[in-house]
């Protein structure tokens, strides 16, 4: 399914550049451009804050001066946001922002190429350099940097470094403006040096919960309404009360798969893990849904494990159930190929499980399953962004397990897996280097 991609163009000078540029710069320019990419119902942009997104048109700049349709993309939202997080601690980390060489327009240009195969107007990309190379450029630089520090009124920040606090308890949510889907897609983890904060973390804080985006279809919402006409509103907009937990139990009894998707979505939300742990009936249903070991509950497996870790809660029974689910999923993948065939939700779940409190047997069980699913060569990875994203998460999982028990590294040798082959992939060099340092 293809998704439209648009470019929002703003004039930071509010029309002033067109008037004064002939006198100040010696040439006329139509505006001082800030751009953003709009896709999947979000506006994505880059600045000194890093990469962020918000409801389209809600930045402090107001409505865009121009909206340009760039084309259609077949990239899915979860793959796209993993791609963004991959850049959030590298090329487009907030500290790497540079008005001349690495600004919002460079970001839009690169993202456009990723999504639709072509960049944005070259005149927009090169304008800052032309302005700053003019006789008055050095005097204007500090003023332009302040103007370009665009902030949304209500945003979800895509970046997080180890010394920056980004609240996780109330992630920003949004709804697609159609009648068929309602979605929550908070992103707290990612790839490419990569899961947020990896590159600047100490060895004692190398794990950050990594949630999966969850989408409820019209059919899901109808199933929820059959249980209670108002429950769907509470699920989508909150807050969830203790009384609603009994309704969720009834949902499990009427439709287990819808229950799995709903509780996967709720695992993002503040306080749900605490409520679930305090309700024996609901918690037993969540465990039962995960124990069903069907692909449809992968989001629940991942998000509930991430939620437990984020809440710093450990349940040995739940960890054992999740370990069985994840290892079975990894072992059922096709081994020895030039990509990994597990799903991105299984890759996320593997990473979250590796960040949990595991006993020694679980460490080796999960480690062996991870090594089994690693590809034997990288021939097609350069053009397979989805597999690179999954491999980054899986290699980070392996690294976390090696920290728990260094003998996991010996499993790689025993199973004849050479991790050095992944150095050929730029996005994987960082984590392969960390593994080599152990």
Q: Name the residues annotated as catalytic.
A: 34, 104
Calculate Rg over the CA atoms of the chain: 23
Evaluate whether 300 touches 263 at the Cβ level (below 8 Å).
Answer: yes
Tokens linked to 40: 């999947």
Distance from C-alpha of 435 to C-alpha of 392, rounded to nearest angstrom:
12
Closest CA to 56 of 195, 153, 182, 163: 153
Distance from C-alpha of 431 to C-alpha of 92, rounded to nearest angstrom:
18
CA 21 to chain centroid: 40
> Residue 429 in 3-state DSSP?
helix
Evaluate whether 267 touches 183 at the Cβ level (below 8 Å).
Answer: no
Evaluate whether 372 touches 327 at the Cβ level (below 8 Å).
Answer: no
Which residues contact residue 277 at a Cβ distance below 8 angstroms, ignoring those fewer than 6 apart? 283, 313, 315
Q: What is the largest CA-CA distance in the chain?
A: 73
Cis peptide before 241 (omega within 30 of 0): no
DSSP string, 57-75: T-BTT-S-SEEEEEEEE--
Closest CA to 137 of 26, 48, 13: 26
Tokens linked to 95: 């500290």
**Measured in Å, how far apart are the chain's first and last C-alpha atoms?**
43
> Residue 8 in 3-state DSSP?
strand
Instruction: Looking at 167-296, list the stretches that DSSP marks H as alpha helix, in order from N- to C-terminal side.
Output: 218-227, 231-237, 242-254, 256-266, 272-277, 280-291
> Residue 142 in 3-state DSSP?
helix
> Residue 26 in 3-state DSSP?
coil
> Residue 129 in 3-state DSSP?
helix
Q: Which residues of 180-214 are buried (b: 16+ CB within 10 A; e: fewer)?
A: eebbbbbbbbbbbbbbbbbbbbeeeebbbbbbbbb
- ∠ CA 217-221-224, nearest 5°, is 140
């Amino acid at each position: 399914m293809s998704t439209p991609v648009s470019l929002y163009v703003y004039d930071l000078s509010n029309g002033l550049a067109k008037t004064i540029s002939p006198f100040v710069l010696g040439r006329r320019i139509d505006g001082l451009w800030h751009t953003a990419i709009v896709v999947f119902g979000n506006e994505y942009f880059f600045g000194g804050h890093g990469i962020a997104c918000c409801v389209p048109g809600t930045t402090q700049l107001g409505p865009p001066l121009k909206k340009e349709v760039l084309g259609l993309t077949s990239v899915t939202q979860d793959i796209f946001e993993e791609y963004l997080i991959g850049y959030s601690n590298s090329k487009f980390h907030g500290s790497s922002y540079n008005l001349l060489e690495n600004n919002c327009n460079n970001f839009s240009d690169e993202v456009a190429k990723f999504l639709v195969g072509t960049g944005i107007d070259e005149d927009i990309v090169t304008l800052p350099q032309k302005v700053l190379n003019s006789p008055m450029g050095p005097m204007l630089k500090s003023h332009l940097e302040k103007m370009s520090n665009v902030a949304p009124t209500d945003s979800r920040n895509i970046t997080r470094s180890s010394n920056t606090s980004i609240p996780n308890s109330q992630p920003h949510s949004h709804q697609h403006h159609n009648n068929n889907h309602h979605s929550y897609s908070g992103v707290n983890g990612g790839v490419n040096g990569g899961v947020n904060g990896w590159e600047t973390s100490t060895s004692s804080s190398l794990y950050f919960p990594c949630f999966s985006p969850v989408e409820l279809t019209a059919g899901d919402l109808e199933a929820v309404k059959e249980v209670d006409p108002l429950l769907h509103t509470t699920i989508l907009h909150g807050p969830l009360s203790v009384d609603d937990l009994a309704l969720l139990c009834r949902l499990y009894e009427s439709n287990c798969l819808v229950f799995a998707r709903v509780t996967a979505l709720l695992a993002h939300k503040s306080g749900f893990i605490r409520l679930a742990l305090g309700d024996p009936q609901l918690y037993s249903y969540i465990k039962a849904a995960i124990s069903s070991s069907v692909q449809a509950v992968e989001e629940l497996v991942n998000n509930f494990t991430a939620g437990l870790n984020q809440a710093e809660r450990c349940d040995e029974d739940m960890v054992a159930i999740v370990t069985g689910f994840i290892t079975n999923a990894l072992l059922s993948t096709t081994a020895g190929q030039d990509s990994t065939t597990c799903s991105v939700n299984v890759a996320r779940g593997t990473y979250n499980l590796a960040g949990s409190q595991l006993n020694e047997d679980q460490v080796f069980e999960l480690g062996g399953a991870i090594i089994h699913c690693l590809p034997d060569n990288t021939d097609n990875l350069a053009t397979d962004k989805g597999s690179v994203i999954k491999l980054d998460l899986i290699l980070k999982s392996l690294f976390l397990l090696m920290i728990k028990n260094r003998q996991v590294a010996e499993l790689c040798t025993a199973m004849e897996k050479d991790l050095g082959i992944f150095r050929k992939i730029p996005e994987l060099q960082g984590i392969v280097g960390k593994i080599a340092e152990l």
